[in-house]
Amino acid sequence: MKHDRQVQKLLSAFRSLPESEAKPVGRDAKSLGDTLAAVVRKYSLEGPRPEQRIVEHWREIVGEAFADRCGPRRITHDGKLVIQVMGSTARQEMAFRKQDILAAVRKLPDCRVVKAVTFVTS
């Protein structure tokens, strides 16, 4: 909360704090709700995230045969979709379909951020 200089001096004296020589910044305090709303807007956190879209459409992306043997784990900061696969055989089969998986993901709304696909074995 913003106080004028006289109130700040009184508060400092009451709290037995040394008087501040710093000049006030001059910014008004903002509510937590306003700050959170600004963060949500700044980082585009409104609406469905790419991760959510991928999970919702996972069976369509990889097909019924693979949907239960693998799953999306995360999207890295550089746009790689990390897929966890059960077993090296399934991993190899998925690697053959890498470009098809990437194309299917990129067709989804809000998923153009995915630039590549990589696999890890569980």
**Measured between alpha carbons, how far is 8 from 20 in angstroms, rounded to an integer?**
9
- Which carries the bigger pLDDT value, residue 103 or residue 7? 103
Residues 68 and 112 in one domain: yes
**Shared domain check, 64 and 29:** no
CATH number for the domain including 114?
Answer: 3.30.300
Distance CA 86, CA 98 (A): 16
Write the pLDDT tens digit of every residue in 22-56.
665 666 778 888 888 888 888 877 778 899 999 99
Number of compact structural domains in the chain: 2
Range of the domain at 73: 50-121
54 and 113 fall within a common domain? yes
pLDDT at 50: 92
pTM (two decimals): 0.65
Residues 114, 70 share a domain = yes
